[in-house]
Structure 1
Amino acid sequence: MSKSSHGATKQAPSSAAMQAWIALMRTQKRLLDLVENDLKRAGLPPLGWYDVLLELWRADGGRLRPLDIEKRTLLAQYNLSRLLARLEREGLIGVEADPEDGRGKWAVITSEGLAVREAMWAVYAGSIREHVQSKLSEDEATRLGTLLARIST
């Protein structure tokens, strides 16, 4: 038994659980680095841009409130605000006032944003094929997805 920082006695994770955690964290970092490198080599923006453009592309009318984008992505609010400003400067999104809430804003994907998302997806999809699909059978990929989904719920 080990004591937590709050003084409560807790049982440490099993060796298998720790190995799974370490492998998951290392794999996540490695795969994200590989995808980022693939995008950079193709002269495309970072993956965070794709995440925002994807959510806008998926959204009804191609628009979302920043809070909804934050909920749908892994981006923290302070990073998202800067990213949205950058995407707007690059012409990939527009910002519209919410007619029902004078303080509210909508981020709206532009035709340029749609084109960049599509170009990024071509590279991103290739990265997934190269760095994941090529290393797992379909059955292994299905099992891995099922296991990871169980952890994330």
Structure 2
Amino acid sequence: MLPTEEETRLWIALNRAHRRIHREMERALAAGGLPPLKWYDVLWGIEMAGSDGVRASNLRDWLLFEQSNLSRVLRNLIERGLVHETVCDADKRAKILRVTGKGAELRLRMWHIYGPQIHAHMNKLTADKNAGVLRKALRPLQPDDE
């Protein structure tokens, strides 16, 4: 079955909005002399996993954005001392990732730009009394674990 015209218009609008907002956030971070948003996402994902860290193989479950080059991003973060990698006690083949103090500090600096960008863009939606409608409408498109 093909999409209706309304479904197609909504699909296009969601993707265009995502691309535009993402570009603007990337520009704001770059203007602040900070690394790309994917670095924030990976640092945040590792932090959200908790003090025990996260297995590198499970990190994608914590991320907001698609990370096609996650290995390269992780290597950069590890080389810069932003993430610490250790061997898992239970499975010597697995690597456990934890954010270092330096990594947490960078993520916080990035948040001071990223957070206001989220507010600036999402406030346009949440200022409306019916803001929950969009969130509820998107819920069926999210993975079951969210």
Fold-level similarity (TM above 0.5): yes
Q: Per the alignment, in what secondary structure is the counterpart of residue 61 of structure 1?
A: coil
Q: Per the alignment, in what secondary structure is the counterpart of residue 94 of structure 1?
A: strand
Q: Percent identity?
A: 30
On the 8 A contact 1:56/1:62 being kept in 2, the answer is: no
* Aligned-partner Cα distance in 1 for 2:52–2:37: 19
Pick the aligned partner of 1:88 from 78, 81, 92: 78
Which protein is bigger by CA-based radius of gyration? 1
Deviations 1:100-143 (A, max 9, x none): 22211111110001101111111111101222214651424322
Q: Per the alignment, in what secondary structure is the counterpart of residue 108 of structure 1?
A: strand
**1:56 and 2:46 equivalent?**
yes
Pick the aligned partner of 2:58 from 68, 83, 86: 68
* Aligned-partner Cα distance in 2 for 1:141–1:36: 25
Evaluate the alpha carbon distance shift between residue 14 and residue 134 of structure 1 in structure 2; reply closer, same or farther with a 3 A threshold. closer
1:14-29 to 2 correspondence within 5 Å? 14-29=4-19
Superposed CA RMSD in Å reads 1.7
1:100-139 to 2 correspondence within 5 Å? 100-134=90-124, 136-139=126-129
**1:99 and 2:120 equivalent?**
no
Q: How many residues align?
A: 142
TM-score normalised per structure 2: 0.88
Which protein is richer in strand relative to its size? 1
TM-score normalised per structure 1: 0.84
